[in-house]
Structure 1
Amino acid sequence: MSSEVLDRWEQRLEDIFEGRPYDMLDAALTHTVFNFPLDIKPFRDMIEGMRMDTQKCRYHNFQELYLYCYYVAGTVGLMSVPIMGIAPDSRISTQSTYDSALYLGIGNQLTSILRDVGEDAMRGRVYLPQDELAQFGLCDNDVFSRKVTDQWRAFMKKQIKRARFYFNVAEEGASQLDKASRWPVWSSLLIYRNILDAIEDNDYDNLTKRAYVKRAKKLLMLPLAYTRSLSTHNLMSQ
């Protein structure tokens, strides 16, 4: 996507928040903006993430990768909270709920990155912290060779542990959303968490295999997600 297209998107975004939609799709978002307390910043930041993706395909460290994950996925969580609503009897602060939504987006994006390592490598992209690859004696060529080694498995264990951390800290906020909104959020959290399990089940081979959760397993997780959604208590995973 060209920078000119993204510039036009950003201008249309400004117009939407000013009540000047360009077409019917813009009008739908304008209607949402005027009916919910949405902030324009996450929308701007998502466009910035798209710009980043046109210019950058390597990330020196996790700080850089975190920023990318915030731009392309954490922003979705921040956009969603005003629409989903927060429970009137929420046990945590509004800011904590927004933080949890952000962390769920980060966890989802990190999981997507780990799931898609092989596919991204075929496009010449490596969305992994370069310094952490080096800590395990790895580099881009090891990713491109698509060979699963003990060093790769050890590296992947660290990356999966980090993604799970973000899912764990997201749980508190998921249980404090408006009751009608909790079930889909919990479903997303549990399904993405299971993608990490699938990578482990594939012996950490995300270079030649794409981890996924089978449809039957997804359906079986829905009752668990519903049960979690009924409680306003923090159910931090062990």
Structure 2
Amino acid sequence: MGNADRAALVAFARDSIAVGSKSFAAASKLFDPGVRERAWLLYAWCRRCDDLADGQVAGHGHETVEDPAARLAEIRDLTERALAGERTGDPAFDALGVVAAETEMPHRFALDLVEGFALDAADWRPRSEDDLYRYCYHVAGSVGCMMAVVMGVSPEDEDTLDRACDLGLAFQLANIARDIGEDDVAGRCYLPVDWLVEMDMPPGEHMKPFYRKRLAVLAKRLATRAEAFESSARIGATRLPYRSAWAVLAAAGIYGGIAREVAARGERAWDTRVVTSKAAKLGWIAKAAGEALRPPSGKARPSGLWTRPR
């Protein structure tokens, strides 16, 4: 691929993240230029896959997808072609091809993300907490692993990849807690059936006012689980080059703040969408600048944390 073609893909990817995620766009500015561009390229592919799967535009809105199996087949085909080094004609998938080639990224991580879209296409619901983590790995933990490789982590460094996966899990658990109401409108529920049974909430009725106190208990549980994974991820972040560590720690604070705010709001967590203000984002960015200066920790990853499949 020529320099002009790559530059065009980078410009496309930059616009994609600016529209699709202001939080990630803000954090990405902290990377050094090479990592930043690759992060944008990877984001563009993730965003395009998500939009195709959910009938969205830049992550906004939601339309019923008439043939989810066909959309999934398209995502899988274009992804496999991009990973094989082929031009796909879709800039987001071509962006993935550039990142994979430049970083020697293990293809299994990208394919694991595609399997996350397959779970949603099959209207899959988690029955247990382990099921929930497996889903979070496919839709977010795998992205954490890809981002780690983009930042220079060796595919052989399993512990640091586990920490990167942990951050993806923390982000996704925060999203699930925040979006319980929106997911319900879309006919989805990512709360484990075991949890709903424990709280005596019939499936499909968890958003009714009568159950709001019980739902708040589960949202707080999600936030607590997210915090445990975030803490593990912060240890791994200190092993990265300074600017990458700064960006990762800033993102951890921004997204961790979402989970903590959902928990703090209790029953009113879904009255209005939880967002992180610009001032709060700047505060986390400033705080992360100091945290990234700390020496790498040799602290072992907690043995009780769920671990991604090998």
What TM bracket, shorter-length normalisation? 0.7 to 0.9
Q: Which residue does 2:87 correspond to in 1?
A: 21
Q: d(CA) in 2 for partners of 1:6 and 1:55? A: 10
In the TM superposition, residue 33 of structure 1 has moved relative to its aligned partner by 2.0
Alignment of 1:38-53 (within 5 A): 38-53=105-120
Q: Which residue does 1:63 correspond to in 2?
A: 130
Runs of 4+ in 1 over 6 A off after TM superposition: none
Alignment of 1:1-238 (within 5 A): 1=53, 2-23=68-89, 25=91, 26-86=93-153, 94-147=157-210, 149-234=212-297
Stretch moving more, 205-214 or 130-139: 205-214
Q: d(CA) in 2 for partners of 1:141 and 1:4? A: 27
**Higher RCO (CA-CA < 8 Å; seq separation 6+):** 1
Aligned alpha-carbon RMSD (Å): 2.3
Output one character per residue of 1:106-142: Cα deviation in whole Å (capped at 9) or x when no partner.
Answer: 1100100000011111222111011112212223354
* 3-state SS, counterpart of residue 140 of structure 1: coil
Q: d(CA) in 2 for partners of 1:3 and 1:149? A: 34
In the TM superposition, residue 211 of structure 1 has moved relative to its aligned partner by 1.9
Q: d(CA) in 2 for partners of 1:24 and 1:47? A: 17
In the TM superposition, residue 156 of structure 1 has moved relative to its aligned partner by 2.8
- TM-score normalised over the length of structure 2: 0.68
In the TM superposition, residue 160 of structure 1 has moved relative to its aligned partner by 1.8
Query: Which structure 2 residue ranges, 5 or more long, are not aligned?
Result: 1-52, 54-67, 300-310
Q: Is the 8 A contact 2:258 2:276 kept in 1?
A: yes
- TM-score normalised over the length of structure 1: 0.87
Stretch moving more, 145-154 or 70-79: 145-154
Q: d(CA) in 2 for partners of 1:186 and 1:8? A: 35
* 3-state SS, counterpart of residue 187 of structure 2: coil
In the TM superposition, residue 81 of structure 1 has moved relative to its aligned partner by 1.2
Are residues 121 and 5 of structure 1, via their aligned partners in 2, closer, same or farther at CA, if it must alter by over 3 Å? closer
Q: In structure 1, what residue type is equivalent to 2:292?
A: S
Q: Percent identity?
A: 27
Q: Which residue does 2:12 correspond to in 1?
A: none
How many residue pairs are counted as aligned between the two chains? 231
